[in-house]
Amino acid sequence: MDFLGMGSGEILLILVIVLILWGPGKLVEISRTLGKTVHAFRKATSDLAGQVTRELDEQQKQVTPPKDDSPGRGARK
């Protein structure tokens, strides 16, 4: 497992140090807050991506003229 260039042993060491510094009660609170923050960030990026996609689709519809498929129009002989 490689996360941000750290192996599983290094991540475990960091978690143990955090547990010693803040204790199990605070660690649960920190984890919960971090989870809520990540969820909010993912929702915001998803909403932003959806909004950008909708605006680009609307802009593309405005720029692209409708096709005229009727026969004989614009044909040169």
pLDDT of residue 36: 95
Give the integer Cα–Cα distance in Å for 33 and 27: 10
In a domain, 49, yes or no: yes
In a domain, 28, yes or no: yes
SS3 15: helix
* Number of domains observed in the structure of the chain: 1
In a domain, 42, yes or no: yes
Q: What is the pLDDT of residues 28-76, one digit of tens each?
A: 888 899 899 999 999 999 999 999 999 999 888 887 766 766 665 555 5
pLDDT of residue 55: 92
| pLDDT interval class at 11 (50, 70, 90) | confident
Sign of the alpha-carbon torsion through 28, 33, 39, 45? negative
pLDDT of residue 44: 94
In a domain, 29, yes or no: yes
Q: Which domain holds residue 43?
A: 23-62
Give the integer Cα–Cα distance in Å for 17 and 48: 37
pTM to 2 decimals? 0.53
Give the integer Cα–Cα distance in Å for 33 and 45: 18
In a domain, 45, yes or no: yes
Give the integer Cα–Cα distance in Å for 53 and 58: 9
Q: How far is CA 9 from the centre of its chain?
A: 29
In a domain, 31, yes or no: yes
